[in-house]
Structure 1
């Protein structure tokens, strides 16, 4: 735990150093560089400060939505890095007429009609086609990206081109929200369509799935016991990028029906406990799933690992109730609840 705290302090100090530099000199320097096209050693200076936050973070500039320019720090879809990028963005000064700030690549549809440089050979992204396979149950799409040039490119370059294409079409966060798998193909897949039409499809399914709702399903353990699973769907960590701490709240109950599920009295007791915990946490924690089986209910919560008061709320709740145990695990990306999707 001490090494985690030390790492967190180092990242926080690096974020603070970046914004102090920005306020004193950086904003003026990068504005002049963007306007003149003369950057000098500015990319190296900014790159070093971004790498001080984390070596795998990257930065880029582009046109803004409300400001003239946008400065983005991106983790390239990695949930661990998205947390850091979000902390950097939230520490930023207010946007100005010149600059706004982003923690993930925003859609840039203009980028998908021209050449992609920086690979072994330039790729005209306007020739790309994408097949979309949508799964209603998970509310996720599988995208298969095809380009005629892929037959002459390495697998890594194909994947990089496919990832950048998806990011520019949809924005990095919407790729996380709505794309479950991103593949590349060297032959044109059946039912492919021009890449430029994919955002319209994703917008339509996003509208249909805009409001998360609770769903319930029944499963069985390997020994045949009934399990009731309740899940918030769609289950999207990217909508809560700072909630990177998974807390499993295990609540034992004694009064059960013949199938091991809680009877009326036990169920009312569980609901009271859940309501009490929710009132204690307030907005500090997000309940996303629960499992109930054979005398045990497990509540799956996420909270901000930097919020010590949130963690302590869980611990205090458990200390006051002998039937409750809690376990905390760092989990950006919510891997521990992916089995419920």
Structure 2
């Protein structure tokens, strides 16, 4: 489960990296999604309304399960309800950023599903002190306060360094990711520790829209930056700013990297 508290937290490696791997495969394989027809949009809105009606019916049971510390008790019911919107959407119950709880629905950055998550969010009830609603996995407020636990060993994300290359024409940033713990990890765990900081720092949607090629650096690239500075850079690019110059080759001559996929 993702942790969004501002204090230091430990996140177990539990398969959540699938979102990051899939968004890269899908965006590169499928490109821009087809235009959404009026009938598709209407169908998505009708399905979203069905979900929120079911959510209100399930809410007492969901609240009781969370109060007992057993959120898994309502996994099946919520999965069935979300399938009313689209069977390929996923969900999680998280600690809220402003409210106590958050319901997070994800398309795994599949552009074909954006019409359904958009309709789901548009039909959501207003956030209150108990619940808030997200149509994509949000960024962690401060990723440098997160620690990833891999097989009993702690890997602080504060030690992650990122070497970005900005392609302003394409609106993408290619990155090489380094952590001093990479050398002790097998390939699968090294890939996980490459991608998890990007999702934690940017959130699902911004990462899907703006991250291009991802590499795992075996040595720290020259002039690499921390995660918070990297987030500022990506947000600047997303807002239409220049980011770093697109001809910047920061760390390329010093970097010994392998593909992150």
TM tier, shorter chain?
Answer: 0.5 to 0.7
RMSD: 3.6
Cα contact 2:159–2:179 (8 A) shared by 1: yes
Structure 1 unaligned segments of length 5 or more: list them: 211-341
Where does residue 18 of structure 1 map in the other structure? 51
Equivalent position to 1:125, from 122, 146, 157: 157
Where does residue 251 of structure 2 map in the other structure? none
Q: What does 1:255-270 correspond to in 2, within 5 Å? A: none
Cα contact 1:74–1:82 (8 A) shared by 2: no
Query: Number of matched residues?
Result: 206
Cα contact 2:41–2:115 (8 A) shared by 1: no
Cα contact 1:115–1:122 (8 A) shared by 2: yes
Cα offset, 1:142, TM superposition:
1.2
Q: What does 1:122-161 correspond to in 2, within 5 Å? A: 123-161=155-193
TM-score (norm 1): 0.50
Rounded Cα–Cα distance in structure 2 between residues aligned with 1:107 and 1:79 = 19
Moved more, 8-17 or 193-202: 8-17
Cα offset, 1:194, TM superposition:
2.4
Rounded Cα–Cα distance in structure 2 between residues aligned with 1:203 and 1:60 = 25
Cα offset, 1:158, TM superposition:
3.7
Rounded Cα–Cα distance in structure 2 between residues aligned with 1:151 and 1:56 = 36
TM-score (norm 2): 0.62
Residue 46, structure 1, aligned to residue 78, structure 2: yes
**Secondary structure, in 3 states, of the residue corresponding to 2:181?**
helix
Greater relative contact order, per chain length (Cα 8 Å cut-off, separation 6+): 2
Cα offset, 1:13, TM superposition:
6.5
Cα offset, 1:169, TM superposition:
0.8
Sort the Cα spacing of 1:36 and 1:106 in 2 relative to 1 into closer, same or farther, 3 A: same
Cα offset, 1:196, TM superposition:
3.2
Structure of greater Rg = 1
Sort the Cα spacing of 1:38 and 1:10 in 2 relative to 1 into closer, same or farther, 3 A: same
Where does residue 247 of structure 2 map in the other structure? none
Structure 2 unaligned segments of length 5 or more: list them: 1-36, 243-261
Q: What does 1:19-98 correspond to in 2, within 5 Å? A: 19-26=52-59, 28-51=60-83, 53-98=85-130
Sort the Cα spacing of 1:42 and 1:94 in 2 relative to 1 into closer, same or farther, 3 A: same
Structure with higher strand content? 1
